[in-house]
A and B are shown apart, each in its own frame.
Chain A
Amino acid sequence: MASVLVLNLDAQVNFTTESVPASEYYKMCVVDMNGDFLDDIVSVDHTNINVLMQNENGGFDVVNYPTSYADHIPEWTMAAGDFNADGYNDLVYGGLTGVSFMFSDGTGNAYETVTPGNYVFSQRSNFVDINNDGHLDAFICHDEAPNVYFINDGDNGLVFHQEGLGDYPSGGNYGSVWVDYNNDGLIDLFIAKCGGIEARYTDQLFRNNGDGTYTNVAEEANMDNKTQTWSSAWADYDNDGDMDSFIGISSDLSGGHLLMRNNGDGTFTDVTAGSGFDSFNGESLEHAPADFDNDGYVDIFGNNGRVFYNNGDMTFTPAPAPFSEAATGDLNNDGFMDAFSFGNVYYNDGNSNNWITINTIGTESNRNGIGARIELYSAMGKQIRDVRSGEGFAYMSSLNTHFGIGTDTEIEKIIIRWPSGILDVIENPGINTSLVAVEGEHQMGVDDANAVQFSIYPNPVRDILNVQSKTYENTTYEIFHITGQLVQKGKLENGKINVSKLNKGIFIISLKQNNKKSNLKFIKQ
């Protein structure tokens, strides 16, 4: 497999490899497991979930959650998402003959094993709100039959479905990505397909019709690619406001890699020629997006020990990396995307570029905000992300939304378009930090002139309420019970308020900074 290696030292990062004690066999997941939005490392097997819980002071604390026997383990794929909306992410294990779910018990201390029993030869799995009812659902590609999905019945029960989201009779479904490709605020589905006769391995693009149904529009979109693919990496590679797609091949039997530029009108154009992917012959099951050098242009990885650095002009330059397929996340809270696979963390050594990470908390929408479109505006222009559970083929990467902003020192605003339709605008957030964004707390029309910009997490909260604000100087707080009674007050010294003594219930925290004031609601558990 020949490859072109052009070293562009300005737009590369180095990685430092470190072995970590992820003790269980299936080591495929980087996601926050204890609700503090720090990415943790998850490894699992039939009877244990091993979490290397990222410590805010650095390093990891080992936590094991013994579970009842999971009939199916993630021998093919794994995904995470807060299905039961209790504040802790749940897991789905995609196995050879079925799936098992691990549902958190609401305390962060234990998980319940649920095996629905339906036969599925699992491939890529995702958590996503398929019917946009505010409850997270689960989708699993089926290798041999129409794709299956479990709709959340609103009571966190699983309702099995097998129709309407890729019904080719003998399957061939490998890599599903949920992405709003046509910017209509509704999440769509792209499936990378492989094997058998041409009709079986022709990719599919399901446009969400908004009424609970989806339509395969791949042909009219020019995305009915007939290459042999197990994954595709979706991102706005040219930062023109819509999601482009890199469809990476697993076999060159039916053609090479495809870089498809979104034309903004529901169609895509093949711009592979000259992109760098035309001359790269490596094949891989895995292709996924991440901005590794924080320059604000999303890169691609997964294939043959390379990161394909985005040059900003729909051309990519491969450079060696110590990993191929991996789960990505920020494993040392430094704002640079790290990778985890096969028991090793590949820490991104970083550079001087700036960044921001958005931690979404849905209220009307599903709790993770999966499916939300996040837009960042800074001097270099506009960047977009969709909050996504399940990229590439097998791995589960962070649910935190990461942006590099290059040498920009300010962010004009962040717009979040939630699946519910609610629109939040956060003006001038701080850079080189993470920002918790609770749905509905930054809607336009709030008294902006007199408002303090702040956010709180976790919510619901048990012990420590974290307050995020540009500054804590001259800031006091008051906490009222929803019935109006003042229950606690004080100075906001370091952004942490101990609320453990409050009774369970709903409270309002009122923050006062100089002459400005804002209220936010939170739940005490």
Chain B
Amino acid sequence: MIINNLPLQIIRFSCGFAYFAFATVFISCSSDNDDFPTDDEAEEISPVVFNLNEIPYPKLSDYHFFKTPINDMKPVYGVIPYEPISTLFSDYAKKKRFIWMPEGVSAHYVSDGDALNFPEGTILIKNFYYENVLPGNTVKLLETRLMVKKAGEWIFADYIWNEEQADAFYNMEGSFVPVSWNHDGETKEVNYRIPNGVECLTCHNKAEIPLPIGPKPQNLNKNFPYETGQQNQLKKLKDFGYLASYPNQIQTVVDYHDTSQPLELRVRSYLDINCAHCHSDDGFCNYRSPRFAFSRTNDPENLGICIVPDEDISNQVDGNPTHIIKPGLHDESEIFYRMNTVQANIKMPSRGRFLIHEEGVQMISEWIDLLEGNCE
């Protein structure tokens, strides 16, 4: 499909190369993209400005990820929205996430619970914003975090939105932004944390190799309302050429907000997305026993059930937790106290939140209180 009446025709074929009308290039075709519509001879080209040597750019607008005005976060062609089934709690900030890849490369499946193996040039985009921000009940974008696969490694780039919400600027220094907003009729306040660059790796690492957390098949295997209609996210990525393939059966998490789902699955999904990146064999908190990955929490020991914690926090909280999780007794469970505080040296997660996730605490408490059994 020809986009517009440019004097220079730029045509992209599904299997090949940019082709300039006055030049001759070789085109190689393969037939491995069976799902691709065949009645189009050419499609859109992604207008994203991709000059990997220059990335990270000084301004978010430099990338051309979004149509103007960019604060509407409407993606251009090639920038595909996605959302994990269960999401990280970030002080109630809302998020819009996108993925873009250069032409002709795609990600590969590793395992249900591992991030996809993304190709060179992949950009993951995550916008953080609040709605109903006081005083004017407006939308306020705070930051847009990028992860870019560059020279075989992921780099981090954070862009802070200006007051006018016109653009966001590269800044790795970290800061606090006070936000008040109307949250379902209640006024909530937060001193929102925009991280310093060194904070990124603390969560986004596996044995100190930087990597994404959200885009795992277990988290993506659901429908998303694209502009073209509802579609499974993995299928969409594959159709678009961003994902080579994926298996038919995937151990999938549930949305912990969805009360129609079994409570235990909701809890395990919550713990996976909020905790497993540190509490894993290769995370920074590997020296504590919990292993919160969804694929591992079918084992009660990995959840911390009836496990005595290494650190005794009973002097610092209003209660006497004796185990990480004590069946039937959330107020004798350390995990409850760590979730139900903002004190820096006790709170969990230790990064990424400065408020208590009340709904999360409620859900975990409910689940613990329904657990049966005794610890010796």
Contacts and interface: CB of A to CB of B under 8 A. Distances in A.
Interface of A: 1, 75-76, 95-97, 119, 121, 144-145, 170-172, 194-197, 200-201, 228, 250-251, 253-254, 283-285, 304, 324, 341-342, 394
B284 A196 contact: yes
Nearest to A168: B208
A200 B208 contact: yes
A290 B87 CA distance: 48
A196 B198 contact: no
B18 interface: no
Contact of B199 (A76, A144, A283): A144
10 contacts: A75-B345, A97-B193, A145-B198, A172-B284, A195-B284, A195-B286, A200-B284, A251-B288, A283-B310, A342-B316
A25 to B, nearest CB: 9
Contact of A251 (B202, B287, B308, B315): B287
A171 B199 CA distance: 11
A304 B312 contact: yes
Nearest to B173: A119
Given A75-B344, A97-B174, A170-B201, A324 B310 contact: no
A112 B98 CA distance: 47
A250 B310 contact: yes
B286 A144 contact: no
B174 A195 contact: no
A75 B343 CA distance: 7
A144 B201 contact: yes
Given A97-B193, A196-B284, A342 B201 contact: no
A128 B233 CA distance: 56
Contacts of B174: 97, 119
B198 to A, nearest CB: 4
B310 A119 contact: no
Contacts of A250: 287, 310-311
Contacts of A197: 207-208, 282
Interface in B294-344: 308, 310-312, 315-316, 343-344
A135 to B, nearest CB: 28
B68 interface: no
Interface string B45-84: 0000000000000000000000000000000000000000
A171 B351 CA distance: 15
A297 B193 CA distance: 48
Given A75-B343, A119-B174, A200-B208, A341 B315 contact: yes
Q: Is the interface on chain B under 10, 10 to 19, 20 to 34, or 35 or more residues?
A: 20 to 34
A228 B287 contact: yes
A253 B286 contact: yes
Interface of B: 173-174, 193, 196, 198-199, 201-202, 205, 207-208, 282-288, 308, 310-312, 315-316, 343-345
A201 B201 contact: no
B344 A144 contact: no
Nearest to A119: B196
Contacts of B310: 250-251, 283
A253 B343 contact: no
Contacts of B205: 170
A121 B198 CA distance: 10
Contact of B287 (A76, A144, A145, A195): A195
Contacts of A251: 287-288, 310
Given A195-B285, A324-B312, 17 more contacts: A75-B345, A76-B344, A96-B344, A97-B193, A170-B201, A170-B202, A170-B205, A170-B284, A195-B286, A196-B283, A196-B284, A201-B287, A251-B288, A253-B286, A283-B310, A341-B315, A342-B316
B344 A170 contact: no
A96 B207 CA distance: 23
Contacts of B284: 170, 172, 195-196, 200
Contacts of A284: 311
A283 B288 CA distance: 11
A394 B316 CA distance: 14
A98 to B, nearest CB: 9
Given A76-B344, A170-B208, A119 B198 contact: yes
Nearest to B288: A251
A95 B287 contact: no
The interface centre, meaning the residue of B193, B284, B316 with most chain A CB atoms within 10 A of its CB, is B284
Given A75-B343, A97-B174, A304-B312, A254 B287 contact: yes
Nearest to B354: A96
Contacts of A394: 345
B177 to A, nearest CB: 13
B208 A144 contact: no
A304 to B, nearest CB: 7
Contacts of A121: 198-199
Nearest first, the 9 closest Cβ-Cβ pairs linking A and B are A75-B344, A251-B287, A228-B287, A96-B344, A119-B196, A145-B198, A253-B287, A195-B284, A283-B310
B205 to A, nearest CB: 7
B334 to A, nearest CB: 14
A162 B201 CA distance: 18
The interface centre, meaning the residue of A194, A197, A284, A285 with most chain B CB atoms within 10 A of its CB, is A197
B315 A342 contact: yes
Contacts of A195: 284-287
Nearest to A199: B208
Given A75-B343, A119-B196, A341-B315, A144 B202 contact: yes
Contact of B311 (A171, A172, A285): A285
Contacts of A254: 287
